[in-house]
Structure 1
Amino acid sequence: MKKSSTAFSRTDLLPVIVGGDISVYALGRQFHEAFGVRSVALGTGVIAAIEHSSIFDVRLVPDFAPKTLLAEVGRIANELAEKRPGATVALLANTDATIEDIISVRDELPDNVVCPVPDRRAFDLVSNKVSFARLCERHGLLTPATQIVSLAGEGGVPPTDLEFPVVAKPASSAEYFSLLGRGFRKVYLMESQEALDRLWSALREEGFAGDFLVQECVRGDDTHMGAITLYFGRDGEALLAGCAQTLLEDHAPSLKGNAVAMVTRDFPELVEKSVELLRSVGYRGFAEVDIKLDPRTGEWLFFEVNPRIGRNSYYLVAGGVNPMRVMVADLVDHQRVVPVHATRRALYTLVPWALLRRYLSGRLLDEVSALVSSGSVFDPQRYAPDMGIRRRVDVELTEMNHFRKFRRYYPKVSDTSF
């Protein structure tokens, strides 16, 4: 596994990362590699790899409600101001719902807190898949054929006229987030109108009254998916770009669509189109664009924008750029940042190679095998300065658990990625 050198510790920076999953660990590692600092994981609970980490301090909160975040982040910022005058709290999160909560209280946070998040207008325009599709149409970007279903009220929902199977997913991930803990999935593949009708009834019984999207099912396994990650600085310019092709996604119901292995790519035309779209709404901070290659046409379709850096942000480090360096130079140090692109070819993975290779074939398998042979492999969990015995055991158990998960949820490659 590739390792990055750790910088001398900065005393004027305290990262506070909301959450407790692997994406939080990856961000903390990026801060530690770049600046030698420990991060605060602010969570309702944390995974063992964070609990037993030497680069994190854990602070538990009962929930992520705006008032809770405001109180706890304010407390941390005030403590920092007393101990280290002039130091800055860098506040990050990696779910749409928490980003929305941070936006709602950002203006009330102490002056020594910076947040790489968009304003409310930009957040609403890009995070809602309905308005995002309209933006794509305006900018000439291709999207899947889509119908909007409103679950507000008690009236019947008209049947779709799209050909089955279809994909169903919430228009707003933030609005839907709480249902993931109640047995609902991030995204559904539906084979019939009857199945759709049962989903609408179940959602209404849970009190969900938002919008859902019904989309054509674009064929293609996990390797047809891709990601574009961008950072827009305080002046609105795109200062960071990176792209990757997905190799394998998590297929557990509540995690469907989260990549667990990627190979870095360079998609300059897609980056340019994404930058143009986001710049048109005055976007600031991190964003991740989900795309899929349509095997019928060979063209990339734009699926959605996540108003955050994304769960797999460490693939940018694999590509040669630590995104926390860019963000801190811009928001904390107020430097003029020369735009950078993460274009180094590398494999990013959260799963063992012995598992990943089962899902690859042909030239892609040959390419990734060559990256493995050359040592161009990056796993954010395996960080040499933070591999005490307990963490090492945690990481190895997590990796072994992937074999069981994939055997249960995705035993072989599917041409629909379901």
Structure 2
Amino acid sequence: MKKLESTKSNRFLAVILGGNRGAYGLAQAFYEAYDQPSVVISPYQTGPILHSRIVDHYLQASPMDIDQLLQTLDQIDRDYPEAEKLIFGSDDCYVELLVEHRHRFAEKWQVPYVERETYDQVTVKSSFYELCQQIGVPYPRTSILNSDNRRFSLGFPVIVKPAQTPDYQTLRFEGKQKVYICYDEQEASEKIALIYKNGYSGELIVQEYIQGDDQTLGIVTAYVAKKDRQLKLLSYSNVLVDDPTPSAIGNSLAGIVRREPEIEESVKKLLAASDFYGFATFDVKYDQARDEYVFFELNGRLGSSNYYVTASGNNVARYYVEDFIFNREIAESTTAEDILYTVLPKPLLLHMVAKGERNKVKHFYNQGKVTRFLHASYERHPSRKAYLLASSLNYYKKMFFFPSLERKVMRKNQPQSFKHDLVQRMSDSPAENLAHKNNM
């Protein structure tokens, strides 16, 4: 590791735990806003941060070990003695670590996340659904199980997932998936038993499957200022392609940034009811049967595709710096540029989206309103470019071998006519119905 030089003030420094796409997107925001690099702490240089000129990498074998982490932070203090630090987690387990141990950080270290009680209220899925129920925010029909009570009464197929993501995230076992789709009672019982047998002890969520392809999914990124607890930013991305791999479902690979008025009131109600501050990321889906969006979860952090917010004109780093470093009032953002963000090559993206969405995608390319943020023009290292080329090619393989949840359901329900149904889906999907509704 080496201290990277900034051309501007060394008043503050972003320190990020983990090296995923979200970490790089946040580092990119700091670089573009303040012309200075960020520190990333991880066990090795993952692809998104590999040979990056905007990242100062600190190697730590076990980032979840708080004592090791504090030693690394001491070293960063020695390397950057003049800077006040903002420390971030790039996924749930890192954020929970910071929230749990915030009292152990030195005075110059700012932890831009809510206190533990509020964090649990909004991020533990069972508590989140209870809050939705109390204030009238739509969410899928849900049963909450534990190791002693594994019974539920929902129609199949159902989704099974842990209520406490960080507790589950650190487990390693054969057959592990981020979420499980189950088509009958026996399969659900087997998956529930598998999860509990391999060390998870928290609550499980069993939830109705909401029909709809990737283009019915949405990501909402919101910012509430710590200073006055007012909503300052609400940014919506209509997902085009979701990551289909079992360990990464829910991570958007491509999307279109636009306004979606139908979700705004629900977001405001949830944030106001929870006394939340900082960045929150919501996962939503348009439910054609209900003719409304349902809310799946709230993450008390920026998501893996957070750079879409910065690319559309609202740099996420500025919110953190103004609120936590300078303690200034933040003006509410009321505008955002419609853009398309993607990590997929253009031909693959056009192949993956529904027929009615392709002209939209082509329009963004024709207008030059597309961001592939991992391919930033200032990243010129040959080894990085080689990695990004290999990564782009790997997405073709990933999309071939791993069907989306919707395709899995279609194959299971109508195996003999799947090809016909897939063609029909590509021309008349819930996403197309939603697009038609939005254009009315």
Q: Which moved more, 1:255-264 or 1:68-77?
A: 68-77
- 1:167–1:214: 8 Å Cα contact kept in structure 2? yes
Q: Aligned equivalents of 1:268 and 1:180: distance in 2?
A: 40
1:14 match: 13
1:328 match: 321
Q: Which moved more, 1:223-232 or 1:61-70?
A: 61-70
| Equivalent in 181, 192, 196 of residue 189 of structure 1 | 181
> Residue 104 of structure 2 aligns to which amino acid in structure 1?
E
1:137 match: 133
Structure-2-length-normalised TM-score: 0.87
Question: How far 1:321 sits from its partner (Å)?
Answer: 1.0
1:393 match: 386
Q: How does 1:324-363 map to 2 (within 5 A)?
A: 324-341=317-334, 343-363=336-356
> Residue 118 of structure 1 aligns to which amino acid in structure 2?
V
> Residue 232 of structure 1 aligns to which amino acid in structure 2?
V
| Equivalent in 113, 120, 125 of residue 117 of structure 1 | 113
Structure-1-length-normalised TM-score: 0.92
Question: How far 1:373 sits from its partner (Å)?
Answer: 1.2
Question: Residue 98 of structure 1: SS of its match in structure 2?
Answer: helix
Assess, with a 3 A threshold, how the Cα gap between structure 1 residues 335 and 365 changes in structure 2: closer, same or farther. same
Q: Aligned equivalents of 1:354 and 1:381: distance in 2?
A: 17
1:90 match: 86
Segments of 5+ residues of structure 1 without an aligned counterpart are 1-6
| Equivalent in 265, 271, 281 of residue 274 of structure 2 | 281
- 1:220–1:416: 8 Å Cα contact kept in structure 2? no
Q: Which moved more, 1:102-111 or 1:338-347?
A: 338-347
Q: Aligned equivalents of 1:417 and 1:283: distance in 2?
A: 39
Segments of 5+ residues of structure 2 without an aligned counterpart are 1-5, 412-440
Question: How far 1:317 sits from its partner (Å)?
Answer: 1.8
Q: Aligned equivalents of 2:66 and 2:334: distance in 1?
A: 34
2:215 match: 223
Q: Which moved more, 1:109-118 or 1:245-254?
A: 109-118
1:73 match: 73
Assess, with a 3 A threshold, how the Cα gap between structure 1 residues 146 and 114 changes in structure 2: closer, same or farther. same
| Equivalent in 84, 95, 101 of residue 99 of structure 1 | 95
Identity of paired residues, percent?
27
Question: How far 1:52 sits from its partner (Å)?
Answer: 1.0
Question: Residue 255 of structure 1: SS of its match in structure 2?
Answer: coil
Q: How does 1:245-394 map to 2 (within 5 A)?
A: 245-341=238-334, 343-394=336-387
- 2:160–2:192: 8 Å Cα contact kept in structure 1? no
Question: How far 1:416 sits from its partner (Å)?
Answer: 5.2
Deviations 1:163-185 (A, max 9, x none): 11111111111111112665411
Q: Aligned equivalents of 1:52 and 1:59: distance in 2?
A: 13
Question: Residue 230 of structure 1: SS of its match in structure 2?
Answer: strand
Question: How far 1:334 sits from its partner (Å)?
Answer: 1.6
Assess, with a 3 A threshold, how the Cα gap between structure 1 residues 57 and 99 changes in structure 2: closer, same or farther. same
Number of matched pairs: 404
- 1:222–1:417: 8 Å Cα contact kept in structure 2? no
Deviations 1:279-299 (A, max 9, x none): 222112111011100011320
Question: Residue 80 of structure 2: SS of its match in structure 1?
Answer: helix
